[in-house]
Structure 1
Amino acid sequence: MTTLMVQGTTSDAGKSTLVTALCRWLARQGVAVAPFKPQNMALNSAVTADGGEIGRAQAVQAQAANLAPHSDMNPVLLKPNSDIGAQVIIHGRAFASMDAAAYHDYKRVAMQAVLDSHRRLSAAYRVVMVEGAGSPAEINLRAGDIANMGFAEAVDCPVILIADIDRGGVFAHLVGTLELLSASEQARVRGFVINRFRGDMALLQPGLDWLEQRTGKPVLGVLPYLTDFHLEAEDAIDTRQTDKAATTLTVVVPVLPRISNHTDFDPLRLHPQVDLQFVGPGQPIPPADLLILPGSKSVRADLAFLRAHGWETAIRRHLRYGGRLLGICGGLQMLGRRIADPLGLEGAPGECAGLGLLDFTTVLAAEKQLRNVQGRLALEGEAVSGYEIHAGVSTGPALERAAVELDDGRHDGALSADGQVLGTYLHGLFEGPAACAALLRWAGLGTVDTVDYLALREREIERLADLVEAHLDTARLRELCGLGGRTCSN
């Protein structure tokens, strides 16, 4: 069994993308491969087949490997709930909330969880494809590291270092990162990949030759810049949009400080009939057909932020003018009369008034609810699928008029009597074409084009594997995967 790790010179260098590409490149050649990220810090997460929670990027990588997501693929997930603290999730389950100093001390224990998961994956798959986090040269974080070279040293695996040339300074990034590693870590780096190149390769080649001569390590390839590429973001909000039709539906999403699972809105951003606008601090909420209150890791704090920026007034004005309002997960909780956190799960214990638009209350409970679910929308009876990730338990008469009838017999969310306000705990509800179309019709779009987001994501994964074949040294990659230079097989 072989483990190969991809580390980056910076955040957003292309680690997630390259791991996704390599997983599909191996899987479509018949190699049993599993993705793995020892430690992830992100508020975009997914529910696994074993009922746990992992980073959203690892769920996409599992799809690339033709696997169902499993909690072993991301054994440590950190979900920030303040500037210095985060909820720590171990093997898919919320363990505790810790500040940065407490977690630094806890990393010795977390490392054992990482190694246990890696051991299980290594026993089940021919190749374990690992994604690092941030940069291995972050000097302040090197002591007790479990996310980059600390892990690579512990399992004795080779490393590919990827850098983003579009940022500028790519040679400084690669050489500087290498220089800040120990001798054993430097030896572990077996090659470089340069990401997001656009221009004349003949002009880049002298730099590549210098890099190989300077470091003694090969450049495994140069990946091109893709202007129209989409893969779900690990953390940062992607605001790029495809070309839009002449007539569009305007959808506005307030960006809260602890916004979570904003990948919910990718299908809307990519829909030709939707003009999706993210509104940040200091920006007024513009006229819209549909406002969406997103998920949140700190619902009460984010609701206070919303009010402090005058957005509650804008929401009520939007409803007076006949607009539609949708709340997802934490956004659903904000729609109710009261939100209570007696255990202090998302901050100091306490409670606050909600927006009072739907008659229910929410109390945060110790055990998080994690489910992949299917059901039917109350709007048109269209099939919908999604996933639940929430600690809140909501009760009240408004929930008797459910937004979704779930196949397991439960009712989810609420739809106001006048049909203007809808709330649901379901993430991913726009991914299915039928459900997306029904929600857009509810929001005011007459004739809706069918867009199959899941098929789009699959096409993009295949596209990445094609780039590996076209632009990387596949013979060397096979050797690094322990497969030799021959065609891959189980």
Structure 2
Amino acid sequence: MANVVMIQGIGSDVGKSLLVAGLCRAAVNRGLRVAPFKPQNMSNNAAVTADGGEIGRAQALQALACRVPPHTDMNPVLLKPESETGAQVIVQGKRVGTQAARDFGKRKQSLMGPVLESFTRLKEAYDLVIIEGAGSPAEINLRAGDIANMGFAEAAGVPVILTGDINKGGVIAQIVGTQAVLPAEDAAHIKAFIINKFRGDVSLFDDGLRAIEVHTGWPSMGVVPWFFDACRLPAEDAPELTADTGGTLKIAVPLLSRIANFDDFDPLASEPDVNLVMVPPGQTLPADAALVILPGSKSTIADLGFLRLQGWDIDLAAHIRRGGHVLGICAGFQMLGTRIGDPDGIEGAACEVEGLGLLDVQTIMKPEKRVTLTQALEPESGAPISGYEIHLGETTGADCARGWLEVEGATHGAQSANGRIRGCYLHGMFTSDAYRAEFLRGFGANSTLSYDADVDAVLDALAAHLEAHLDIDHILEIAAKA
């Protein structure tokens, strides 16, 4: 059975996901067989696994850090927000329905069984399992039925290392305060703490470390300086999206309110010749963009309304009149059509709405969700593409006869007669170096990046960074005592 350790945080966005990825790669580089695990995640940026399910993007990156294929056991409960009060619930990779937050709160304890089942399988298959918490254990109002933090730690009997983000300020009070509000039995699971995202001379915080140790009795595992190359790794949360990356080829992506699978754009953002502009609500699409990409969304119909509310439909029309190109991916593809129907009320109330009318296609939402890894081909160049599909809905229409990709010998996607407006359901296409190079060449830009190799190199650099600043030996000792 594997050794185990859980990384929890004093709040969201303290760097837990990145720390777990780095610790995973550090342990793998020491010769251990390692797996990541997150009992419950909330993200619209999902990854497709080889066993035909979906997990949070962060766990897919952590699996890559472990040099193992991502598996649904690594994130058995995934919540994908569809509105301000409800989310699609994914259990062990499969959609089980949509629930309001209040209803999920009543139900979540029933999910402890599948969570522990997945965790046990990983423990039996690996030497070490590194677990990521969610949010903060100090949210004691959520403790009843908890499966994400101390509820899981108690049920599985795992030791916890608490992580604080010093960049936001107040880290001493937050760590000491976490201990103060936790029930004694929960606080007993915490064996140490880590300070993350430090800028400047680390020795200046020596007194701070001693203060935390005196007040809590927990030892420090170290202070991690800011890791500047983190921006070269796929991000899980939309607020982390880069606004403007420089370069000469301007590509604009409107930030929809329920944007999903936005890691589609990470390879483009990494290209020196590309200026990827993520356009926030309230701003117009840049007039000098050569290409506008409509991204995926967790709520196609709602985000189509959001797009119109920003006036982006008007901007798109002007962009096309200027000779610009448009690409729609997944929900963005559905929005480009003439009509979207949701007769079963899958995304909300049953309805039918007009699309943007830029492609002669129509979409009908259906309850069966397509989740699959996909190998495709760009026929004109012969460039192979490795991607994935993850969507509800079926799209048909005249422009589908001009599908511009090939999947399993059949055409995929749709395009306008002049080829300047295209759509498809294939996520992740730009991670394929040969295809991305051909795609950019069509806009007069060069590709100089080997994307997968670059991500792998950053993970090695992250592991070395943590080895230099954390007591990895002590962390592994804590895991061994579980």
TM-score, length basis structure 1:
0.95
Output aligned runs, 1:379-398, within 5 Å.
Answer: 379-398=380-399
1:271 aligned to 2:266?
A: no
Q: Choose which of 471, 474, 477 in structure 2 pairs with 1:476.
A: 474
CA distance in structure 2 between the partners assigned to 1:378 and 1:348 by the alignment? 40
State the match for 2:60 in structure 1: 59
**AA of the residue aligned to 2:439:** L
1:8 aligned to 2:6?
A: no
CA distance in structure 2 between the partners assigned to 1:243 and 1:95 by the alignment? 38
State the match for 2:439 in structure 1: 439
TM-score, length basis structure 2:
0.96
**AA of the residue aligned to 2:469:** H
CA distance in structure 2 between the partners assigned to 1:255 and 1:370 by the alignment? 24
State the match for 1:100 in structure 2: 101
CA distance in structure 2 between the partners assigned to 1:238 and 1:469 by the alignment? 25
Output aligned runs, 1:88-487, within 5 Å.
Answer: 88-229=89-230, 230-240=232-242, 244-245=246-247, 248-287=248-287, 288-406=289-407, 408-442=408-442, 444=443, 446-482=444-480
Comparing 216-225 and 121-130, the one that deviates more: 121-130
* CA displacement, residues 417-449 of structure 1 (integer Å, 9 cap, x when unaligned): 20101111111111122211222233x2x2413
State the match for 1:488 in structure 2: none
- Using the aligned pairs only, state the percent identity: 51
Give unmatched runs, 5+ long, in structure 1: 485-490
* CA displacement, residues 45-100 of structure 1 (integer Å, 9 cap, x when unaligned): 00001000100100011111111111111000000000000000011010010001
* CA displacement, residues 378-431 of structure 1 (integer Å, 9 cap, x when unaligned): 45332211110001111122111112101x233321122201011111111111
The answer on whether the counterparts of 1:241 and 1:269 sit within 8 Å (CA) in structure 2 is no
**Secondary structure, aligned partner of 1:88:** strand
The answer on whether the counterparts of 1:241 and 1:270 sit within 8 Å (CA) in structure 2 is no
Comparing 318-327 and 27-36, the one that deviates more: 27-36
Cα distance, 1:139 vs structure 2:
2.5
* CA displacement, residues 283-317 of structure 1 (integer Å, 9 cap, x when unaligned): 11121111010001100110011112211111011
The answer on whether the counterparts of 1:242 and 1:271 sit within 8 Å (CA) in structure 2 is no
Cα distance, 1:171 vs structure 2:
0.7
CA distance in structure 2 between the partners assigned to 1:32 and 1:483 by the alignment? 18
**Secondary structure, aligned partner of 1:345:** coil
CA distance 1:370–1:243, shift in 2 (3 Å): closer
CA distance in structure 2 between the partners assigned to 1:227 and 1:124 by the alignment? 34
**Secondary structure, aligned partner of 1:20:** helix
What is the aligned residue count? 479
Cα distance, 1:243 vs structure 2:
6.8
**AA of the residue aligned to 1:476:** H
CA distance in structure 2 between the partners assigned to 1:303 and 1:242 by the alignment? 24
CA distance in structure 1 between the partners assigned to 2:388 and 2:404 by the alignment? 15
The answer on whether the counterparts of 2:252 and 2:277 sit within 8 Å (CA) in structure 1 is yes
**AA of the residue aligned to 1:452:** S
CA distance in structure 2 between the partners assigned to 1:92 and 1:453 by the alignment? 26
**Secondary structure, aligned partner of 1:469:** helix
**Secondary structure, aligned partner of 1:103:** helix
CA distance in structure 2 between the partners assigned to 1:300 and 1:104 by the alignment? 26
